[in-house]
Chain A
Amino acid sequence: MTVSYDKSKAVYEGIRSAGVRSISALPETWLGLLLQRAEDDPEMTLIQVAKEEEAIGIAAGAWFAGEPHVLLMQNHGFLAAINGIVSLAQLYHIPLCMLIALRGHWGEPYPWHTRGGNVTEGVLRALQIPFEYAREPDRVAQQIREGHTLSRSSLWPTALLLTRDLMEEVD
């Protein structure tokens, strides 16, 4: 499997088109080209964390600072960040715009990702976090803008699930 250069570009341009110039992230394969773009972009502040829950705190700090921000993480990182999401973002009504690489789902060849892939949607529902699946590069920019807008109007987390169709090259 190969991560798509063009589709990663579409996601990155989507983040920029939302007016966002600040990203927190924990690197993973599907996010690699995106993070490379962020690193090479002099207008973008990229903060890589040691564990995803840290990024919830950083995103809250960015919100207090008045800086539009998105979080990039894998779904297993989302699972690792839940108490921060619940007991910081939701408790204090702080928006989070999360872009989550949905590993372990349709077409996943790696066994180790499959448990997380199966439960991600159910956990998002349990946390009452509005989410959408992003599958098409032509639509992803709008989906990012809308997720970002909703998080800030609702003062609540939103999640856009970045799927295999969106992130990988089609053979």
Chain B
Amino acid sequence: MERRQCIELMYPELEDKVVVTIMGASAQELYDLGHRDNFFYLQHAMGLASSVGMGLALHRPDEKVVVLDGDGSVLMNLGTFATMARYAPKNLVQVIFDNGSLLSTGGFASHTTSGDTDLAGIARAAGIRRVADTDQLMPFGEAILEAFEEDGPHVVVARVKAVGPDNYGMDLHLPENAFRFARYLSGRRGDS
């Protein structure tokens, strides 16, 4: 299973959701399907996409917040699982693409490469009750549909191949992305 396939599968469902991605391939593959103002690409500050998602989910309980995360980023902020479990925002879905690789920074092995470190297990042990873990597209789709429809917080670990897009680039300045994302959210609340 490739991350690109997973994102393609989710894409139609993301139209009315608030989406935060990590840097690199995850951001690019979502952007390449067609940018929307409800997508925020965190192109640096590795580890914090889930924290941004937490801040959004806790303050906008009316919105479904989806974080597209990765093994390298999550490993930089494992405490996020415990914070997520403690405050348990029902409207937060964290999708973790575990490719066992720091692909976007040079393809180095990550701590999950060996298969010994189990991110879904860490999430469960941190206290997150709704955790799915798969390397097959069909079960991934089912887990995502469940996460989108039912109260969470949800963590969906998708074990994918370490491949990414051939070309990187966006016609979108970073602050422009942030400003448009904030405007989307203020518009949804009717206070723009």
State the A residues within 8 Å of B (CB): 22, 24, 45, 47-51, 53-67, 69, 83-84, 86-88, 91-94
Contacts and interface: CB of A to CB of B under 8 A. Distances in A.
B181 A64 contact: yes
5 closest Cβ pairs, A-B complex: A61-B55, A57-B51, A50-B79, A57-B48, A65-B59
Contacts of B186: 66
Given A61-B53, A94-B178, A54 B44 contact: no
B117 to A, nearest CB: 18
B141 to A, nearest CB: 27
B80 interface: yes
B140 interface: no
A49 B58 contact: no
Contact of A59 (B53, B55, B82, B87): B55
B185 A87 contact: no
Q: How large is the interface on B (under 10, 10 to 19, 20 to 34, 35 or more residues)?
A: 35 or more
B174 A91 contact: yes
A54 B48 contact: yes
Given A83-B45, A88-B42, A61 B185 contact: no
B77 A54 contact: yes
B113 interface: no
